[in-house]
Structure 1
Amino acid sequence: MGPFSSIFFTLALLLIAKFLLSSKKKRLPPSPPTLPFIGHLHLFKKPLHHALARLADRHGPILLLRFGSVPVLVVSSASAAEECFTTNDVTFANRPSLPSAKYLSNNYTTLGSTNYGPHWRNLRRVATIELLSTHRLLSSTDVRAEEVRELARRLFFNSKGAVTEGFVKEELKSRLFELALNIMMRMMAGKRYYGNDGEVSEEARQVREMVEELFSLAGTSNLGDFLPMLRWVDFQGVRKRLVRLQKRRDEFMQRLIDELRKGSMEIKQEEVEEEKNMIGDLLLLQKTDPGYYTDQTIKALCLSLLQAGTDTSSNTIEWAMSLLLNNGEALMKAREEIDTRVGNKRLVQESDLSNLAYLQCVIAETLRLYPAGPLLVPHESSNECVVGGYNIPQGTMLLVNAYYIHRDAKTWEDPTKFKPERFENGKGEGKWMIPFGMGRRRCPGEGLAMREVGLVLGTLIQCFEWKRVGKEEVDMDEGSGLTLPKAVPLDAMYSPRQAMIDVLAGL
């Protein structure tokens, strides 16, 4: 063997030894047995957060699974989740680019879907400063107050314009969704779709169908995302629906932008302040920086807000009312607090919410038991990192089971019971909850959501008596979907409160 051959042979041995030693040092998280090609997909039944909770009970709070060809880190403990969003926050700041997601995210350009980087930072800056800042939320207080008053008025007066007498059955899910959609559309574009006459326009029907289909498809398991061999088959028909929905959404948002652009040219200067809305403000910014505030950027921001600000808020209010109907003492306690601190001469206002401590406890307990995103929005690692002492490979999807963490018996006493009192007088401080996520990708709409949920829930409790339809408790089964809907929409009996008749009659 020549000298060069000897050197080459020695280097090869050293490289092999180094590889073997580094491989031994890598400590991957536990993983249940897999099947060829599909990995762990055969273990999952809907809802996914329950299936992942069962795996955590069996194998531990940090698991490395395979959804087909995609490696997935599942975290089900507060300490591990905190490590992901503090020590490894930048590493997990990306989003997984699943093939079907590009249709729901304008090719991964929306605030919630784009990867961490300059584009995301610009979108986040615009969202937090221009659209969802404290100043913006204060300036849109009247919009939310008017829509909540309209909800109370429509419950107080029946379809014939007469005062509602006695207890009347109401399906709340539709009412709450219409309210959330009206609030978001008025804030975004100055348009409301559900008015005083109770009639639903064709445009309103189309917008509702579009938003509902968005959440339906977002919560659908598209096997082609995880099994590349199925991507061109589309035997579920999901891709065709996604393509149609993308086209409808893009056309709808472009119409909205064009309408407001045309309208802004016709508005007199003294009327500008009265016509302020998010898209209008973005169009003004477009004039100063057309290269960045393009129509596509505006659409991406508005689609993010529409997706994050409708179903989530209405579902949370529906869960809260369901819990209160099954826990009459909590409902009475919340009402007594409102009567004491607000009275019966006017409706609850957003400025009252900070003084309604027990109402805030009810909302916190609702978000603990039924977080709007039970698995949060998926993240993806941009580099290799360490979580809980385990090596996590680059390109691993991260799912954090907030639902499981919020019900951890090690943290919460009687974790499955509805007990708002657990948050009274700061008792809930230090007990980890992440209903809006954590770190850089934390939901920027938290302030808006808490204002809206508090105002609607406070008004419903203040203005009406509520009871269950029958003697049986409200069905609390969970449906399948991205935002944890109820399996059975809430039906409830309500009657105007005698103490609030004068206020309601004047709406």
Structure 2
Amino acid sequence: MAKGAWPIIGHLMLLGGTPTPHKSLGSMAEKYGPIFSIKLGAKRALVINNWEIAKECYTKNDVVVSSRSKLVAIEHIAYNQASFGFAPYGPFWREMRKIVTVFLSNRRSMEMLRQVRVCEIRNSVKDLFDVWDNSKNKNQSGYVLVEMKEWFTRLVFNIVFQTMAGKRYFGTNAVVSEKDAEKCVKAVREFMHMLGVCTMTDAIPLLRWINFGVKAMKETAKELDVILDEWLVEHTQKKKFLGEKVIVESDDHQHFMDMMISVLDGVTIEGFDANTINKATTLALILGATDTSTVTLTWILCLLLRHPHVLEKVKEELNTKIGKERFINESDINKLEYLQAIVKETLRLYPPGPLSAPREFIEDCTLGGYNIKKGTRLITNLWKIQTDPNVWEYPMEFKPERFLTTHKEVDVRGHHFELLPFGSGRRICPGISFGLNMIHLTLANFLHSFDISSPSSEPIDMTEILGMTNEKATPLEIMVKPLLSPKYYETMPSDEC
């Protein structure tokens, strides 16, 4: 047990403020070793900080650590664990994960996902060109200042919402007003923030009885439920009007909600009705795909601007392997080894969820030579594991080349325990391929289409925000200028969109 616990709240103060929790716990690992425990109010939590312990945890003890704690935020804004991402380990979770995995991997869905990604990325590149073309604030070199966190957010949300329910919230043919779209994005981000903060109510169960701190959670939950309910009603009416056979055979863009309506067919599972399960599972996928992808793309640009030699090298790869005046397709990504290495190195230094998602031991077990009691929470410090100097030479430096040389065989799919940005074991993120495809294709086409530079001589701010994801605290304003001929942008989007 680590020292320094306060009365009643224990070490809860470590999980808030500055430095961020993963760095505070990482500093404690230097003192207490790769595995130690802390007190979060009335609960004990185990913190693991190196790949050997992680491997033992997610192989030998994987079943034992495959459940979730019932946190207050999950109860109030994640449909009380009807959302499979936050559900306890058991039959309900296994069934929901199977449904999600089938959707993300079957041929029809994969083709629909590909078309959505291609369409939205082309639209977004065209929109950014239009911003540049119409701007009256170009500098002498022809660059325009843009805020990239916003651009990535709009692109990613369009891709994910199209996949889930066939909805575009930003740009041409948006189904809602700009104000409503921004309100939705804000609600999703507030949800992610609430999930990433260990509240006093979670630490001190007595506070649950007085609903301490849940008002904001309920308001966020209501906002998201209204949106999801509207989508569900629309898709349910569509099925009733057209019929199951017509939708399946004629609609190449059968969205996730359509599939869930067909699979669930009005049944109740583990006390949850079909509509609740549909909304909860849809929300889980939205959360898993939007903020994490936006955050990763943002950090990639930050790192590229801070390391101009890396930026020049990836641009050279794009010119050599792809050429100019051609949209980069997903089939091209395998040629872009250095670009993939950049993504890996960014995920190593800035994993989207640096402390992974919280788990809970459902049985007594032994881990790292220590006896762990049932009910103990598990915190996996991915950031500490992925910056371990015993594994990574110059661990805090941005060196994509390591994934072309010394760590060439290391991937991010949970098999190499020194690099686990998407987790490992049974509860590994089921949307790894979806997320990586979106990040690779977006990054490749953005860098292929635009030249970028920092707006000032000062280094890009790398301050992180506390939450479920390690979001950049400040906007990312950069200078952009088209690299290709105007005709290239003006002919987007293609007929495929």
TM-score by length of 1: 0.88
Q: Give the distance between the partners of 2:277 and 2:73, measured in 1 at CA.
A: 20
1:242 aligns with 2:217: yes
1:172 aligns with 2:148: yes
Q: Give the distance between the partners of 2:356 and 2:198, measured in 1 at CA.
A: 16
Name the counterpart of 1:17. Answer: none
Deviation track 1:66-112 (CA, whole Å, cap 9, x = no partner) reads 10101100001111111110100000011111233211221112111
Moved more, 58-67 or 225-234: 225-234
Q: Give the distance between the partners of 1:42 and 1:182, measured in 2 at CA.
A: 37
1:39 aligns with 2:10: yes
Q: Once superposed, what is the RMSD of the aligned Cα atoms? A: 2.2
Give 1:505 shift: 2.6
Name the counterpart of 1:418. Answer: 398
Identity %: 32
Match of 1:427, SS state, is: coil
Deviation track 1:346-403 (CA, whole Å, cap 9, x = no partner) reads 1111111111111100000000000001000011101111111011111100000000
Q: Give the distance between the partners of 2:308 and 2:78, measured in 1 at CA.
A: 42
Are the aligned partners of 1:132 and 1:445 in contact in 2 as well (CA < 8 Å)?
no
Name the counterpart of 1:502. Answer: 487
1:429 aligns with 2:409: yes
Match of 1:495, SS state, is: strand
Name the counterpart of 2:160. Answer: 184
Name the counterpart of 1:10. Answer: none
Are the aligned partners of 2:268 and 2:274 in contact in 1 as well (CA < 8 Å)?
yes
Q: Give the distance between the partners of 1:284 and 1:272, measured in 2 at CA.
A: 15
Q: Give the distance between the partners of 2:382 and 2:35, measured in 1 at CA.
A: 13
Name the counterpart of 2:389. Answer: 409
Are the aligned partners of 2:112 and 2:252 in contact in 1 as well (CA < 8 Å)?
no
Select 2:296's aligned residue among 312, 316, 322.
316
1:228 aligns with 2:205: yes
Change (3 A) 1:208 1:44: closer
Q: Give the distance between the partners of 1:306 and 1:143, measured in 2 at CA.
A: 15
Q: Give the distance between the partners of 1:110 and 1:131, measured in 2 at CA.
A: 17
Give 1:290 shift: 3.5
Change (3 A) 1:108 1:366: same
Match of 1:74, SS state, is: strand
Give 1:161 shift: 5.2
Select 1:79's aligned residue among 52, 67, 73.
52
Give 1:215 shift: 1.9
Give 1:133 shift: 4.6
1:260 aligns with 2:246: no
Counterpart amino acid of residue 190 in structure 1? G
Structural mapping, 1:89-128, within 5 Å:
89-128=62-101
Counterpart amino acid of residue 282 in structure 1? M
Match of 2:84, SS state, is: coil
Deviation track 1:312-358 (CA, whole Å, cap 9, x = no partner) reads 00110000011011111111111111112221131111111111111
Are the aligned partners of 2:12 and 2:41 in contact in 1 as well (CA < 8 Å)?
yes
Give 1:142 shift: 1.0
Name the counterpart of 1:53. Answer: 26
Name the counterpart of 2:316. Answer: 336
Structure 1 unmatched runs, 5+: 1-29
Structural mapping, 1:303-382, within 5 Å:
303-382=283-362
Match of 2:442, SS state, is: helix
Moved more, 180-189 or 334-343: 334-343
Query: Based on CA coordinates, which of the two structures has the bigger radius of gyration?
Result: 1
Question: How many pairs align?
Answer: 474
Counterpart amino acid of residue 421 in structure 2? P
Give 1:438 shift: 0.2
Q: Give the distance between the partners of 1:159 and 1:422, measured in 2 at CA.
A: 36
Q: Give the distance between the partners of 2:135 and 2:13, measured in 1 at CA.
A: 55
Match of 1:310, SS state, is: helix
Give 1:234 shift: 5.5
Are the aligned partners of 2:144 and 2:480 in contact in 1 as well (CA < 8 Å)?
yes
1:218 aligns with 2:195: yes
Give 1:202 shift: 4.2
Match of 1:465, SS state, is: strand
Are the aligned partners of 2:16 and 2:197 in contact in 1 as well (CA < 8 Å)?
no
Q: Give the distance between the partners of 1:378 and 1:216, measured in 2 at CA.
A: 14
Change (3 A) 1:53 1:87: same
Moved more, 98-107 or 174-183: 98-107
Change (3 A) 1:207 1:35: closer
Change (3 A) 1:426 1:277: farther
Counterpart amino acid of residue 256 in structure 1? W
Q: Give the distance between the partners of 2:169 and 2:259, measured in 1 at CA.
A: 21
Match of 2:475, SS state, is: coil
Change (3 A) 1:131 1:500: same
Q: Give the distance between the partners of 1:100 and 1:162, measured in 2 at CA.
A: 43
Name the counterpart of 1:4. Answer: none
Structure 2 unmatched runs, 5+: 411-415, 493-497
